[in-house]
Structures are given as structure tokens and as C-alpha cells.
Amino acid sequence: MSITKMIEQWDRKIDRLDQKIAQLQEQKELAIKAETWECESCNAENEIGNTRKDTLYWYESPHGCMGGDTWHTDRHDFYFYCPSCNAKYRAYHNKWALEAREYFAKGEHIYER
């Protein structure tokens, strides 16, 4: 077998595996978004994928010659809201929410000074 054909065979195998990986990643995302959490206020069961997440930003005032005057965000902290009663929760206090942060519905950007 020529080296070219061998490379082509391996490339085809890799392409099939890449397609399978993409399918598995999509299934994972759908499964996580379908997971539910219980609201402490109204006891409603809510799907993670239907729960709005707002990203927090805070401002750093200018200091020195070149420091500050910028907005920061913390990927480990955000607010999420019960779709049923709109109760507000902070992800910092909910480990499961931090682990599932990529799968919440996108919300707003909240700028705090």
C-alpha cells in the first residue's frame, strides 16, 4: 500500500471519529439543558436550558498611569432566575449552577459600579 493511500484511510477514520464526537457533544448539551433544578421559592422544576443567566461585570476606576478604567467579569459568578416566579439566585452559592454555566439560556449583562 502506498503511503498516500494509507494517509487517506487514516484521514477518513479520523473524519468519522470527528463526526461521532460532534454528535456526542450535541447529545451531551441537550441532556444537560434538559436537566431540572427546583426553585426554593415556588418549588417549580425548571430545565437548565430554559433558565436565564445574567453575566456580572464590575468597573475598576483609573489609577496610576495606565491602570484600571476597565470592566471585569467573573465566569464563576452570575445570576440565574426561576422561569416560573422570577426568583433570583447567585451561582456563586450553587455548585451545580457553576458546573452547568455554559448551558443556561443567555440573559443580560449586568454592570455594577
pLDDT in tens, 31-79: 999 999 999 999 999 999 999 999 888 788 888 887 778 877 776 788 9
Handedness of CA 79, 80, 84, 87 (dihedral sign): negative
**In which band, very low, low, confident or very high, does the pLDDT at 86 lie, cut at 50, 70 and 90?**
very high
Query: 96: helix, coil or strand?
Result: helix
pTM of the model: 0.72
Domain hosting 28: range is: 1-34
50 and 99 both lie in a single domain: yes
61 and 81 both lie in a single domain: yes
97 and 69 both lie in a single domain: yes
Q: Could you give the number of structural domains in the chain?
A: 2
24 and 72 both lie in a single domain: no
27 and 74 both lie in a single domain: no
pLDDT at residue number 113: 60
DSSP string for residues in 15-51: HHHHHHHHHHHHHHHHHHHH-EEE-TTT--EEEGGGS
41 and 81 both lie in a single domain: yes
